[in-house]
Structure 1
């Protein structure tokens, strides 16, 4: 990002001494690069092998790239500020502690889920909550035959579904019970493995969210019980 935003042209970078460029990378990278000189060599080689544009075109490209780089930096700062604001408002809600007790659910996912659900008492059952989120499947049957392939409905609250699916992906990486369930569903089909397994895991998560919010309780892993 610093290479884009600094007033350095490609020629300036290509003509820099290897040690100087390595020191620049190490400084801007705050010491995170394991081998800054090797990275410097890679960058200089990329510049040498790149197709050179005319002066006018090159200046225009540099300006556009620098503008986008600064925009990305600005948006990152705004995201951090928004997350701080969400967390400050969120801690006063009793439901917050219920969802954050689940491994993998942080303040953003928990806040999103609670904001979209509102009062859990609006839903009589967890099945209604799942339907509201669009995490349910229509039965396809004719007479005594019932198809094994039942497509998910395309309706429901897309924002709640997004938060549940993203939270499910985080939970299955942190909670063994959900990891086992995810892998089981992953192996059941030859196509769209991850997408299907993740949606099924999100459906399982709906049951947990419903219980925690309805009973105002903290999560306890089944294995620890």
Structure 2
């Protein structure tokens, strides 16, 4: 019997899939923002060692300061602005302010009309980003409410909160649908295509593009979180990361997600909670 009732399963799937779409849209909009930022201040991303998408930086761009205004602003005033907008989250606001001024002073200058247009683009992008972030938070609240009434099987794994657990459960549904963990991995598209020509078999093949991309997304994101909390997965990721000279993170993360599928299958199939003593060996 599934740990999720039919009505809960349907709405949970809709919520987690909608969240997935919004996360993709948010990521794309952030890429647009960074493209606009290059025109505003081409050295900003390289010089400033702070989150560009934090509230303080977003407010800084919304103020539509010209590069000259930022460069000529007293360091203490800029540092105070950043500290206020970040709600005192900067350990050394003067250092951050200094790197910002260094970036704007070394950046090429734009025509005033062009710079004004870039400011409008940046402001529009910031508003879109904040709308997406707000919508994602609302969806996550609803997901957490549903998950609060369900068996916390996957949430017992360190690093797996209700959001990732919900995304996985919503796509797998009843575990009995799958004969074993290999079927789940194939359903999620976590396998490599084989290329053969005569007696030749390629060693370097790409990950399958088939499968349930919602499940693959939540499995990979969950595995990325688990590796930061569970030593076994951290070591497994590191081992695979160091085996190749390129695409290291992507390859290691996908392989870690494939290993993680075995754990998900074992816990759901046996209705177990995760413990280090009962972890799934590979």
Q: Does 1:47 align with 2:47?
A: no
Equivalent residues in 2 for 1:67-146, closer than 5 Å: 67-94=124-151, 97-137=152-192
1:212 equivalent in alignment to 2:267: yes
Indicate which of 203, 220, 234 corresponds to 1:149: 203
Structure 1 residue 137 displacement after superposition: 4.2
Indicate conservation of the 8 Å contact 2:70/2:101, yes or no: yes
| RMSD over aligned Cα atoms | 2.8
Larger radius of gyration between Structure 1 and Structure 2: 1
> Which residue pairs with 1:16 in the alignment?
73
CA distance in 2, matches of 1:55, 1:62: 10
- Deviation of the 1:2 alpha carbon: 0.9
- Structure 1 spans left out of the alignment, 5+ residues: none
Alpha-carbon distance between aligned partners in 1 of 2:109 and 2:200, rounded to the nearest angstrom: 62
Q: State TM-score, norm by structure 2.
A: 0.68
The aligned counterpart of 1:201 is: 256
Greater relative contact order, per chain length (Cα 8 Å cut-off, separation 6+): 2
Shift of 1:183: 2.8
Q: What is the match of residue 158 of structure 1?
A: 213
Moved more, 85-94 or 37-46: 37-46
Distance between the aligned counterparts of 1:186 and 1:37, measured in 2? 37
Change (3 A) 1:203 1:72: same
- Aligned to 1:25, which of 82, 88, 97? 82
Aligned-partner SS, 1:173: coil
Contact 1:5 1:70 in 2 (8 A): no
Give aligned pairs, total: 222
User: Using the alignment, how far apart are the partners of 1:185 and 1:39 within structure 2?
Assistant: 36
Q: Which residue of 1 is the match for residue 95 of structure 2?
A: 38
Deviation at 1:208, TM superposition (A): 1.1
Q: What stretches of structure 2 of length at least 5 have no aligned partner? A: 1-57
User: Any idea what SS the aligned residue of 1:78 has?
Assistant: helix
Which one of the candidate residues 57, 63, 68 is aligned to 2:120? 63
TM-score normalised to structure 1 length: 0.84
Alpha-carbon distance in structure 1 between the residues aligned to 2:180 and 2:226? 22
